[in-house]
Amino acid sequence: MDPSGIAEQDDGGYTVRPLGVDDRETAVTVINSAAEWYRDFLPPEEVPGPEMTPAEWDAEASRMTWYGIFAGTQLLGVMGLEYVREVALLRHAYVAPDHQRRGVGRLLHSHVEGLVAGVERIVVGTYAANHKARRALETSGYRLSADSETVLRAYYDIDEDRLVSSVTYEKRVGD
Ligand SMILES: CC(C)(COP(=O)(O)OP(=O)(O)OC[C@H]1O[C@@H](n2cnc3c(N)ncnc32)[C@H](O)[C@@H]1OP(=O)(O)O)[C@@H](O)C(=O)NCCC(=O)NCCS
């Protein structure tokens, strides 16, 4: 694998590559369709609108690298890799609902995880009630942080509502 992550990788018919501005519209559609799942466990007032707008996608792209997993030309899932001081954050993992539970998220996650370099720790945040994401992280070898709030305050720029309803998981690079 190209350590820059710029090269494409074929894996079981799927391709993972960094996303650019031309992918923004499709990526935002994937994110917002997958994020509909939050309505299953969040109170309605905490799901006020789309999870991400195109402008927010651009703002995130200025800090981190977006990756996408494709079947042919169809974008199935996205994830962001952001470095904040001594850790790598894997953020915004979303797989289109019609393609979930087929190993797509795990493949994208392990590809992006394999690109992490120069830090010793990977951190992932999620809603405490998001049992799908928590199970995915636990089966991928992540451990719940001893103090999620401190980790969230140290590495994330999130509002208080989301902070109090979130947890973080961690893994040492290479584990
Ligand atoms: C979380 C998500 C990205 C996982 O992607 P996916 O392609 O469905 O996941 P995979 O098929 O690779 O499954 C990986 C593991 O996730 C867990 N998982 C996935 N879907 C699950 C479900 N419906 N219920 C319980 N566990 C689930 C399982 O541990 C699974 O491994 P297993 O099938 O061997 O048991 C996807 O479900 C999604 O987009 N969810 C909505 C948005 C979201 O919650 N994003 C996370 C933000 S942190």
Cα(1) to ligand 1 centroid in Å equals 25
Q: Which two tokens stand for residue 66?
A: 């977006």
- Cα–Cα distance for residue pair 146/91, rounded to 1 Å: 19
Q: Which fold has domain 9-172?
A: Aminopeptidase (3.40.630)
Going from the Cα of 88 to the center of ligand 1, the distance in angstroms, rounded, reads: 21
Task: Express each pLDDT in 68-121 by its tens digit.
Answer: 999 999 999 999 999 999 999 999 999 999 999 999 999 999 999 999 999 999
Distances (CA, A) of 136 to 4, 9, 22, 143: 25, 22, 29, 11
Residue 138 has pLDDT above 90, yes or no: yes
**127 pocket-lining for ligand 1 (C-beta < 6 Å):** no
Domain residue spans in the chain?
9-172
- Amino acid 11: pLDDT: 64
Percent of the chain with pLDDT over 90: 85
Residue 14 Cβ contacting ligand 1 at under 6 Å: no
- 8 Å CB contact between 52 and 31: yes
